[in-house]
Each structure stands twice: as structure tokens, then as C-alpha cells.
Structure 1
């Protein structure tokens, strides 16, 4: 790590390295918290009596509040101080993570997780904007690359960490860990240099409200659609209403003298290509996580910890990118790194569609490495394109755009993967469901996890039912991965045309330069 920080034309100062370490630790905590509880849901269901819907909202309440509040939170940091917003966010995360140690009813858990999402929304854009607003230009690309890599591996770290805790302690230990980490980071963040806009304009309240409603409703609809169905009134209304509010947000922002988000930023093709690339990156990443975590646990029979560790090889190409991208970006350019990265990620997803239940982990690991190599090539360039094409006084909002596109992309990816998997699984398992007693038809037809539980009670025919259900799941995973892989590969082709080409600059510079044509 020290070597890569010291590469390039000049070395980072000790204070810059320390600041980067603190803000990267904070964003890793936020991303890890989004994934960590997935491993504990079965235990939580037994010990708290939570229904399946309540378990879903224990996870999704965090995601929904995080996504909805990112843009206003980024603007608050620009206007009133990025370090201050970071500190408030860490305090909120600490309190909301500590509360479930004592307040452990499903309703309290949902409320505290939603509150933690509010804190996370304050933390996430503040971390990146502190880097981009305080680091000198010659160090910014390296710092942003490291930040992007940490975001990409944070979810894997959350899964592995929670799995380790559950090996010895109860599910409350996950909340204890996050509360303790948030308190430590709160103390350390006082050492980070403050940063704020010198003459901030008035806060755009109409824009902030429209942004919260638009993103919140759209993400809500995307989270509910795989569960309720795409034609369900709640899911469909939320998606449509969120889309209408997004249009209203754009129209309002174009008329404001001091908008929450300057829509003219999207006229810059580097900025627009970066934001679009990030959305597709996280669509692909969270779709992959959704599929592969079920494959490893339900088909390969891994424990939650083993499932988390199975994703660990993905971190290798992402960490290698922290060394390679600062050198590659100014020489290759945004267009070709985005195209190559998205294309490889799409190929990795597409390859997942050819997995067989008998293939085992090594074949799956190869697809994960292909996928994460692509992600490593395009993640940091996309974030760099956003922050390098935004004025310094709007870095908080730029960071929030970067983060909001991640969350929206993730919600869409999970929704598509879940819906495609469920549709094919339901069709493939139908012949077996018809022969079952009425009480068993609904659970077996709904998911592989439920089918495996029923198979344990089915006597001699149980193993045959389990094998049939696993085969149906593999059919569903194949179809989902096939469609999603094609979507990402098409997005790569669009990026090859739309993303700006590299400006001709001397080979000695470490900073990217893009031509907006």
C-alpha cells in the first residue's frame, strides 16, 4: 500500500495518507453494513420472530434511506462543511447500530436500520468529497482509485466479517461491531482536515425534497417488484411516481439560480459517461452477488462464512487496479477503459449462465475473476470522470451523484436478477409442484431455500425433490445471468461510442484528460 501511494511524480504526505485511510475506512463501513446482515437473517428470524417481509425491510430500510438522501447530504457537506457532515453521519450510525443490542423487536430493528441508512447517506458522499476537494491534482487520481476499490470490496468484507462473528456469537455481535467501528472512526475523523464551500448559496429545499421523493420512490418500487410482481399496484405506482418526480426534479433544477444539482454537468460527456458506467457496474455487481450467494449456499452447501470467503478472490483484481489505473487512465483514456471493463464484467456474468450444479467452486471462481477484472478497469475511471469534471465547490454533490447512481444501479440489478430467477425457477419447478400436497406447493414453488426445507420432511422422495429444485434454480440463474450479461455488454458498446476519447497529453502526466466530443 505504501509503495502505491508513493508512486507517481510526487509522494503523498503523511497527512494525506492518514486522511485517505480514515475516509476509506468510513466508506468501507457504510458499504459493509449494507451487506453484513444478509448472513444473519435466518438466525434473526428464529430469535426475533420476524416475518419474511420484516426481514426484507431490515435489509432494505437501510438501502432505501441511503439512496434517497445522498444528493441532499452531499449538498449539505458542500455548504456547511464536509468533515462536520461526516462526523454527524458517524454519530448517527453509532447510535442506530448500538440500539438493537437492547431494542431487538423486528419493528425496532427496521427503524434503527433505516436510521443507520440516514447516517450512511451523510457519511458516503462526505468521504469522497473530502478526498477530491482537499487532495492536490497530482494525487487525486490515485486517491480516488483507492477509494473506488474499497467501495467495490466493502460488501465482500461485510459478508466475511459478519460470517466470522456468527461463528462464535449471536446476531447482535454484528451491531456491536458496527457501533464500535463507528465510534472509533468518529474520534479519528476529527483529525481529517475540514473542507467547505467558501460562499455557499442558499440550500435548495424544493430540489432536495424532489430528489428524496424521486430516488426514494423509484428504489422502493425496484425493491418491492421482485417480491410483489412488476404489475403490483404498489411497486408499479412507486416506480412511475419516482420517474415523474425525477422529471420534475430536472425541470425545477434547470430553473433554479442555485440548484441542488447543476444539470448542466450532464452536458459534459465525461461526467455523464462516468455516472452511467457506475450505474451499470453496480447493476451487474449486485445482480452477481444476489445470484452467486444463493448458488454457493443452496447448491454447493456452503455456510454463510464460506459463502463470503468464496467471493474473496474478487478483491484481487480490484486491489491490483489501485496500482494500474493511475498509470493506465491518462494513457488509455476513459472510453476504452470503460468499454473494456464493462465488456469483461458482462462476459463474466454471461459465463455464469453456463455454470452447472456439478461444476463446483473453481469454475465459479474463474467467472468471478473475469467479472472483477472488468470492474477493476472501469470503476475508478468512472468516479474520476465525475469528480474531475465538477467544480471544487460542488464536490459533495458530485460525490453524491457517484453514490446515488451506485445505489440505483444496485436496486435495479437486484430487482432484475430476482425477477428473472423467480420466473424461470417457477416455470421449471412447476411439474414437481403439481405432484405435491397443497401445503407444500407454495413454498416449493417460491424459492430453492424453501424447497430444500420441504425436502427434508418429504421422506424417501425428499432427495429427488431437492435435486429437481436445484436444477430449476440453475435454470433460473442461467437465464438471469444470460440476460444481465447481455445488458452489460450492450452498455459497454454504448460506452465505446459515447464516452469521450483521450486528449493527447504528455506521457509524463499522472492525471487524466478527456475530450468532450
Structure 2
């Protein structure tokens, strides 16, 4: 199952190097570019719980095969997008395919490896994903430079083909077989709730944080998510067993990881624009930025896979998140005159921290879930992360857009302030506008530093949650489910 994770990670990371090219091709605003990223993430997160139930009931291998087919077809259609609206729609369809794939990968690892061996298994899983994280942007950047942004979607097709062959030949079928059914109204509620929340965050800079449209989106989100929670609490066979959140291991690690991904989820989205539009790097050179990040994850995972046996999961999670915060502090120091070395140092530290903390955090979350509900537990683990990423791209992207617009000179037309790319295009349209281009780059660098400083705060908050909420001692197999009843 390990070959599946890189394919999904490649799609998440490679797209960031193409963001400036997509913005130029479709004259897209920052909000539209955020939507291209978040259409995938929101649908992915909204359907993960349902996908976990599907994999438990109908078979994990069968679900993965269906998801890969959807993902591959949608990728090919995205490459042929005639408009940014079409691209956003295909990204959403790719999210459907990815949601079917992801829960089964972790569920199989949970079924195969006993509790004490899981951190090492998850460390290998993370390291393999990091290879995709490094290779994807490099290949995607080369394709963008040599051809067009469409290449970042077409490279998914051969990855999916190889994965399908491997799954059919090597992975046995597993399932829970306890008759737990699907909940279509619940699926609609949770997806609508997250969609409304992310939409409100994305559009807030353009419409205003107190505008009717933004407040309506936020209210719809809150109502839908409350409705989902009530429905699950009353159902005799819920999609999500809310009793899991009474377990400090599950709720503490899940919340800490979600807070952390708010910071990490938007990093490459912002840095890709900084490297290309502020520092003037090519798409391929921008792709190189993912190499120190991936190398850091691999190095950190080597530690994170073995250290829990000696120091405990609690220490690994807290220390890893603290190192990630240090990486964001380095990134917050970037200016329009900074070089690649500073970016590399910051991303390497962030990668090391994620590598150290990730295996223990994942093992802690899934260790609180009964084995027969591995699909649901894996889906919840991914949902927490993907929701954090969506909120990071939307929320920190909105902070970036608001701070950037506020630092630009007064009197510019609306279309010229929608993104850094739009401002630079406007500055090229007339004589005497070179000063505007310099002001725009400086404004973006300052806005980026602000968002990275928020990333520091989020990473430290995640470390604090882990420090306070996670138990110092690992429970034994007999203690793992005491007090929660059958899940």
C-alpha cells in the first residue's frame, strides 16, 4: 500500500509550483487560486469519513481501485481545462478519488502491524511519501518551464497506472464486515459544513469579513457541522463514533495535528509565489524548494520511527512540533532580498519536525481506535489533517491577501490588487510603473512574513496541546479501550 501515498502527495505538492503559471493562464485572482487548491482538499476532507466506512464494509482494495480510477480520469480532464472554473471542478473530482484511496492505506497498516511496531511502519510510510514530495515538484516544475501548467496533472496518470497494477497484484482484500451502513445525509452535512467554512475564509478579503455573503457561508457551515454532530450522536450505528473524542490520546493528538497542518498546509502555496514572483526563480527552481523539506521529513522519520520506543510518543510529538515552529520562525524572516539558503533552512527544519512528530502522532490517534474500525479511524485521522490544510490555505491565504492589498498604493483598480501576479501584469502595461512592481514585491514579502509568524504561533500551540493533553505513558493493549465501550 505504500505506493499509494506518494501519488496523492505528489498531487498536493506539485500543484504549488504551477500556481503562478495557472494564475497567468487564466488571469486568476488569489481567491480563485486558493479555490483550485482547496476544491480538492475540501471534497477530500468531506468524503474521508464516508470513504472509511465504504472501505470497511465493501473492501479496502476494491475501494482503492475505484478511487485511483476516478483520480486518474479527473487528472487527465484537469490537464485539458479550458477555464479556471473547469479546473476547480476537476480538482474537486480528484478529491473524490483521493478520499477513496487514503483511509484504506492506513487501515491496512493498522491491521498488519501491532501497536509497538506502528511508529516505525508509519515512519517508513512518511519517508516514502517524502520521495514523492521531492520528486513531484521537480518534475512538475520542469514540465511547467518546458511546456505548461497542464503537465502537473498529466504526471498523475502514469503514477495511477503503476499503483493500480501493484494493488491488483499484491494487496489482499480486507474488510470489517459488521454491516455498518452509509449515511448519505451525514455525508452531505459534513461536506457542506467544511465547504461553507472554507469558502467564507477564501472570499472574506474580497467581500469583507462582515459581509452578508461571508457571514451566510459561515452560518451555513456551523449549522451543517452541528447537524452532523447531532445526527451521529443519535444514530445507533454512526459513521463517526463520537465517544472516541473522550479518549485523550485520540482527541489530543488529533487536535494538535489539525492545528499544526493549519500552518504547514499553506506553506508551499505561499512560498511558490514568493520564489517565482518575488525572487524571480523558474518553476523548476521553485520545485527544488521541496527537496530540503522532503529530506528533512526523511531524516526526521528515521528518528521518529525509533525514538518512541525509548522516549515515548508524547516526547516525540512535542519535540517535533517545537522543531517545526523553529522552521517557521526562519521562514518568517524572509524578505524580498533573501536567498534560497534561508528558504531551504526553514523548510528543512519544518520537515525534520514533521518527520519526528508524525509517526508518533499517527500511531497515537490510531492506537485509540478498535482494530475493526480501522477504516473509520484512518479516515478521521486524514480528515483532521485535511481540514487543517484547507483552513490553512484559506485562512492564512486570506491573511496574506488582506495584508498584501493593504500595503499596496491607493488608487489601483480592483483587478490589479487581486494577487501579486495580477499587480505585476498591471505594472507591465504602462510606462513608469516599475516602482509599482517593486512596491508589490515588497508588500508580498511583508505579508508572507506575517503569515509565517502565524505559522510559528500555530506550531507552538500544537506543541502545547500535545504537552498538556497526551498521556506520558503508553497504555497496554488491555487498557487501550477501557471506559469507551465497543466502538
TM-score, scaled to structure 2: 0.89
1:452 lines up with 2:424 in the alignment? yes
Is residue 208–residue 260 contact of structure 1 (8 Å, CA) maintained in 2? Answer: no
User: Relative to 1, partners in 2 of residues 1:504 and 1:182: Cα closer, same or farther, differing over 3 Å?
Assistant: closer
d(CA) in 1 for partners of 2:270 and 2:89?
28
Equivalent position of 1:174 in the other structure: 152
Equivalent position of 1:477 in the other structure: 448
d(CA) in 2 for partners of 1:159 and 1:228?
33
User: Relative to 1, partners in 2 of residues 1:493 and 1:90: Cα closer, same or farther, differing over 3 Å?
Assistant: same
**C-alpha distance after superposition, 1:328-370 (max 9, x if no partner):** 1132223222222222222322332222322312122222222
Equivalent position of 2:175 in the other structure: 196
List gaps (5 residues or longer) in structure 1: 1-22, 435-439
d(CA) in 1 for partners of 2:474 and 2:370?
20
User: Relative to 1, partners in 2 of residues 1:43 and 1:372: Cα closer, same or farther, differing over 3 Å?
Assistant: closer
RMSD value, Cα: 2.9
User: Relative to 1, partners in 2 of residues 1:335 and 1:133: Cα closer, same or farther, differing over 3 Å?
Assistant: same
For 1:310-459, what aligned pairs fall within 5 Å after superposition? 310-430=289-409, 433-434=410-411, 440-459=412-431
- Per-residue deviation, 1:133: 1.9
3-state SS of the aligned residue for 2:320? helix
Which shows bigger deviation, 473-482 or 398-407?
473-482
Equivalent position of 2:14 in the other structure: 36
- Per-residue deviation, 1:157: 4.0
User: Relative to 1, partners in 2 of residues 1:187 and 1:229: Cα closer, same or farther, differing over 3 Å?
Assistant: farther
Equivalent position of 2:461 in the other structure: 490
Equivalent position of 1:67 in the other structure: 45
**C-alpha distance after superposition, 1:464-512 (max 9, x if no partner):** 322222222222122222233123213322321111112499xxx9xx9
For 1:210-359, what aligned pairs fall within 5 Å after superposition? 210-359=189-338
User: Relative to 1, partners in 2 of residues 1:376 and 1:167: Cα closer, same or farther, differing over 3 Å?
Assistant: same
- Per-residue deviation, 1:122: 0.3
- Per-residue deviation, 1:419: 2.3
- Per-residue deviation, 1:218: 2.6
User: Relative to 1, partners in 2 of residues 1:467 and 1:58: Cα closer, same or farther, differing over 3 Å?
Assistant: closer
Is residue 226–residue 418 contact of structure 1 (8 Å, CA) maintained in 2? Answer: no
Structure 1 or 2, whichever has the larger Rg, is 1
Equivalent position of 1:18 in the other structure: none
1:500 lines up with 2:471 in the alignment? yes
Q: Which has the higher contact order (CA 8 A, sep 6+)?
A: 2
**C-alpha distance after superposition, 1:300-354 (max 9, x if no partner):** 1111111111231011221123322222113222322222222222232233222
d(CA) in 2 for partners of 1:342 and 1:25?
27
List gaps (5 residues or longer) in structure 2: none
d(CA) in 2 for partners of 1:356 and 1:368?
16
Is residue 324–residue 354 contact of structure 2 (8 Å, CA) maintained in 1? Answer: yes
- Per-residue deviation, 1:126: 1.5
Is residue 11–residue 153 contact of structure 2 (8 Å, CA) maintained in 1? Answer: no
User: Relative to 1, partners in 2 of residues 1:233 and 1:33: Cα closer, same or farther, differing over 3 Å?
Assistant: farther
User: Relative to 1, partners in 2 of residues 1:503 and 1:73: Cα closer, same or farther, differing over 3 Å?
Assistant: closer
1:82 lines up with 2:60 in the alignment? yes
Q: How many residues align?
A: 480
2:95 aligns with one of 117, 123, 147: 117
d(CA) in 2 for partners of 1:264 and 1:297?
47
1:464 lines up with 2:435 in the alignment? yes
d(CA) in 2 for partners of 1:342 and 1:476?
24
Is residue 31–residue 154 contact of structure 1 (8 Å, CA) maintained in 2? Answer: yes
Is residue 133–residue 195 contact of structure 1 (8 Å, CA) maintained in 2? Answer: no
Equivalent position of 1:95 in the other structure: 73
d(CA) in 1 for partners of 2:470 and 2:144?
44
d(CA) in 2 for partners of 1:125 and 1:264?
20
Which shows bigger deviation, 258-267 or 162-171?
162-171
Is residue 357–residue 470 contact of structure 1 (8 Å, CA) maintained in 2? Answer: yes
- Per-residue deviation, 1:385: 0.8
Moved runs in structure 1, 4+ residues, more than 6 A?
512-516
